[in-house]
Amino acid sequence: MPLIAFTVLAVFVVAGIGGYVFVKRFVQARVDLIHRTVHGARSVGAGSVKAPNGDLLALDAEVSAWAGSKRSEVLELRERERFRREFIGNLAHELRTPTFSIQGYILTLLEGGLEDPKVNRKFLERASSGTERMVRIIEDLDLITQLESGVIGIAAEPMDLRKLVQEMMDDLRIPAQQRRVTLHNAMQDEVLVHADRDRLAQVLLNLLNNAIHYGKEGGSCTVRAFDIGEQVLVEVEDNGPGIAAEHLPRLFERFYRVGKSRARNEGGTGLGLSIVKHIIESHGGTIAVKSTEGQGTTFSFTLPAAR
């Protein structure tokens, strides 16, 4: 009996010691693995390439590629968000001026001005011109949106640029005379381009209008065209005060203005050049500006030539 008891006890003791050693080794192995993994992950996180095994290297490459693509997505979203915020801010700013002026005139009329024949008509006319300004901003924005989204396409056909330039100059005779600006069409012969007549008319109107209003009083504006193979290069040059170099890169942005108060007083929406750029680009052309302060400004754009 004591022998049996001793044997059983001995078996338990040996089994216990064996079990303990086995469990200890097993756990230690797992702990080691966890340590190696954590160390490897830290190396990857720190940008080190000394990952302890192939899996971690592959993981490193995958995570880096994912992080790279997310980083550029985030940058793009941030840029869009900045643009959206700036755009809404500009739009609110642009609409505020005419809205407040309309509100002011209407309130004055309601508070007794309506019965005063000296002011009633004048105030109504001013409120009406504020409304016209708002309509101009909305129409210009609508046009840009439609051009951008491709809702209004370009119906290009062969047409004579020289003739269209002349028509636009004739249309602008009165504002040009008011500022004593001489408009000069330097094209001697027919210049055939492949363009949408109405859209191109708008381009010329905006550029000529700017030359008249921002150019020199008593100055001049000349339109030229050059055959450059597949394309025609058109230049609209004035001898006005010019634009400082720091403004040139942003000139075609929506609502961007150089002489802020002056441009607003003259009724510009700050969208004219943005529209011009959209129209030229939807014809497959490009537009550029060069200017020297005190000497003048030249806008040049290309259009497909028609043969």
Contacts of 110 (CB under 8 A, 6+ apart): none
**255-294: which residues touch ligand ADP (CB under 6 A)?**
256-259, 263, 268-274
Sign of CA dihedral 202, 207, 213, 214: positive
Distance of CA 295 to the CA centre of its chain: 29
Contacts of 244 (CB under 8 A, 6+ apart): 258, 293
Taking only Cα atoms into account, the Rg of the chain, rounded to an integer number of angstroms, comes to 37
- Number of residues interacting with ligand ADP: please give it, by CB under 6 A: 22
CB of 272: closest distance to ligand ADP in angstroms? Answer: 3
Q: Does position 251 bind ligand ADP by CB under 6 A? A: yes
Q: Does position 210 bind ligand ADP by CB under 6 A? A: yes
**Residue selected from 40, 98, 130, 215 as contacting ligand ADP according to rule CB under 6 A:** 215
CB of 162: closest distance to ligand ADP in angstroms? Answer: 21
Structure tokens at 279: 């129209």
**Residue selected from 240, 277, 303, 305 as contacting ligand ADP according to rule CB under 6 A:** 240
**79-108: which residues touch ligand ADP (CB under 6 A)?**
none
Q: Does position 211 bind ligand ADP by CB under 6 A? A: yes
**46-85: which residues touch ligand ADP (CB under 6 A)?**
none
Please provide the DSSP assignment of 147-213 as one string.
HHHTSS----EEEEHHHHHHHHHHHTHHHHHHTTPEEEE---S--EEEE-HHHHHHHHHHHHHHHHH
Q: Does position 212 bind ligand ADP by CB under 6 A? A: no
Which chain residues interact with ligand ADP by CB under 6 A? 206, 210-211, 214-215, 238, 240, 243, 251, 256-259, 263, 268-274, 297
